[in-house]
Structure 1
Amino acid sequence: MDVTTALAKIGRGPAACEDLECDEAHQLLSSVLQGKATPLQLGALMVALRWKGCSSDEMTGFARALTAVTRRLALPNSPRKLAIIPSYSAHHRQVNLMPALALRLARAGVPVLVHGGLGDSTPAPSFAVFEALGFEAARSISEAQEALTMRKLALLPTQLLSPELDRLLALRTELGARNLGHQLARLLDPAPGHSLRLICSSDTGMLENLAQVLAATCSEAILMRATDGEPYANPERRPRISWFSGGEGRVLYEEDSFPASPQQTPTPADPVAVAAYIDDMLDGRKPTPVPLANQLAACFVASGYASDLDHAKAMVAVGYGRHS
């Protein structure tokens, strides 16, 4: 399906627009990623999809097209799944604790790949926090693979993992809003069949669609509501945390009924201060928020590191991954 035909279906207003079938969505995005759409067509398509919203069938088809052009990683020799964490938020209102989650997993022996960017090779702000913690972004796929082998943690800019997606993300500046690329970024998978993706969304409808996509594709993933667009559990109110495996979803933790008391934290925009706060948390000088500890336990069991959730909770309680 070409862009002109797609726009005739999805761009007719809320009362008349139609959803694309899965194969149509796959064909459409494949064409777009191959550069077959003019700038005008591409802008119109991104805006039309934003207005209409994407169905689960469309997301499944789009994800298939993206997977076909995503660079692959050779995994380190590990019995555990590769935890894949997307980072695409430009601004953080709360302290970004995603790096703390990534480091706890890596220190416990679960290999972690963090990918992210804002388009046009602009790194995600979370990468500055990682840099202050002593981790630099890889400059090639081979560097990322070496980092996974040596330190169990690799940071990979989107441009290296999927330059086609990076070009879509860059449209945010011209269009003035997020687009399909930002929705798809959370589904990137450079290790199909060997990964555990941490997938999130701030939109309830999109969370429901993503759940259907993960079930239909028999994906291995943790699904939850985002915190400032990042896939870590809100320290003030734990979201529902679900584990998808083999076509079935299982709720590991329900959403908290009441928010916790906010803790004193550094300025979210100061990566050095955030890194120091995370260092204190990892070294036990500051407590790990309960929601983040719950998410860590969910990742331990879903990655194959723990035999069940009770085992995973015990591992978190005794400090697995706290010290390097």
Structure 2
Amino acid sequence: MSLAPYVQIVARGKGRGRSMSFAEAVDAMAIILNGEAEPEALGAVLMVMRLREETAEEISGFTVGLRNHVKNILPKADLDWPSYAAGRTRGSPLFILAARLVSQAGYSVSMHGWNSHQQASASVRGALKWAAPTVRYSAIEDLCPEAFALLKLRDTFGLRSCINTVLRMWNPSRAPASVQGVFHPSYRGLQAEAAQIIDENDLVVIKGGGGEFERNPAKRVAIYGWMAGQFLDQSAPALTPEKRMLHDVNQPIDLGAVWHGKNQDPLAEASVTGTAAIALWSLNAASTLSDAQSMAEALWHRRHNPESLSV
């Protein structure tokens, strides 16, 4: 098979080109992942989609195409937590500690991802020693080498493509709830619309640091997505009046020191509990975000006695 018909769909001249339908996107992704796409055609499709911006039908179709392709599905988890941020300004992954709190509350967390163009201090994989055993991390290059190759095309194009968004939507553990971070605010609505098409009824998306699901507690946070099938479009106020930069690449935060209380950093702690609170809320562990925040703070204060934490 050839990807040429799909190039014709998206790349015809003004007034003639259009976006792919859901079904067309599913088929196009199958061609791509099966290695049947000509490199020139693949580049054309991905870059034209980026230029005119992807649609929810295309993202959801590509996501289903990826799910159809991958056979080694992970064990089912309670919460899907993708991690695909990139960039040299990204700081220490405080969200790892947030995921640990969520897991110590009795929920299994499935993380998957790959991170590029980062300082060593921002390494997610390097920080996994601070996660709990019930936080499972899966590397994208092991889960699906073909998808990893698509992600690496950023080095060829010099630009990200819709694959970054598709991988966030993937949910390889088929968890009933998912949390996602985006860098560009416009993608919050796109991912929420794509989730509706593929019946993802519990999805929370925020603008997070560097594109990770990680709350900056010094700022108001906008929350999009779905909860129990109801559309989310709301915001939560800042958790602290402190206005300093949360991440400074020249002064990385020591996650171990924060976890063990050797480094008293109220802003970092607020990021951990604030991120955990939104995740717990997405899991319906609390009826309101305010209650979830109280729950996360209680978990933080009792974090060194994990046997008493499970909900």
In structure 2, relative to structure 1, the CA distance for the partners of 1:313 and 1:231 (3 Å cut) is closer
Q: Is the 8 A contact 1:123 1:157 kept in 2?
A: no
Which stretch of the first structure deviates more once superposed, 17-26 or 123-132? Answer: 123-132
Task: Say if 2:115 is the partner of 1:134.
Answer: no
Aligned counterpart in structure 2 of residue 279 of structure 1, from 252, 256, 259 = 256
Which stretch of the first structure deviates more once superposed, 56-65 or 311-320? Answer: 311-320
Amino acid at match of 1:281: V
Which stretch of the first structure deviates more once superposed, 179-188 or 100-109? Answer: 100-109
**Structure 2: gaps (5+ residues):** 307-311
C-alpha distance in 2 between matches for 1:160 and 1:123:
20
Give the Å deviation of 1:174.
1.2
In structure 2, relative to structure 1, the CA distance for the partners of 1:264 and 1:299 (3 Å cut) is closer
Provide the aligned length of Structure 1 versus Structure 2. Answer: 299
What RMSD, in angstroms, separates the aligned Cα atoms of the two structures? Answer: 3.2
2:111 match: 114
Percent identity reads 20
Aligned counterpart in structure 1 of residue 190 of structure 2, from 203, 209, 212 = 209
1:144 match: none
- Paired residues for 1:7-86 under 5 Å: 7-12=7-12, 16-70=16-70, 71-75=72-76, 81-86=78-83
Task: Say if 2:310 is the partner of 1:313.
Answer: no
C-alpha distance in 2 between matches for 1:177 and 1:156:
24
Give the Å deviation of 1:62.
1.1
C-alpha distance in 1 between matches for 2:73 and 2:120:
24
Give the Å deviation of 1:286.
2.2
In structure 2, relative to structure 1, the CA distance for the partners of 1:15 and 1:230 (3 Å cut) is farther
Task: Say if 2:285 is the partner of 1:297.
Answer: no
Give the Å deviation of 1:254.
0.7
Q: Is the 8 A contact 1:10 1:52 kept in 2?
A: no
**TM-score normalised over the length of structure 1:** 0.79
C-alpha distance in 1 between matches for 2:74 and 2:169:
15
Amino acid at match of 1:92: T
C-alpha distance in 1 between matches for 2:119 and 2:142:
13
Q: Is the 8 A contact 1:215 1:248 kept in 2?
A: no
C-alpha distance in 2 between matches for 1:191 and 1:124:
29
Q: Is the 8 A contact 1:116 1:123 kept in 2?
A: no
C-alpha distance in 1 between matches for 2:278 and 2:295:
11
Q: Is the 8 A contact 1:118 1:170 kept in 2?
A: no
Give the Å deviation of 1:279.
2.9
In structure 2, relative to structure 1, the CA distance for the partners of 1:255 and 1:264 (3 Å cut) is closer
Give the Å deviation of 1:13.
5.2
Q: Is the 8 A contact 1:86 1:198 kept in 2?
A: no
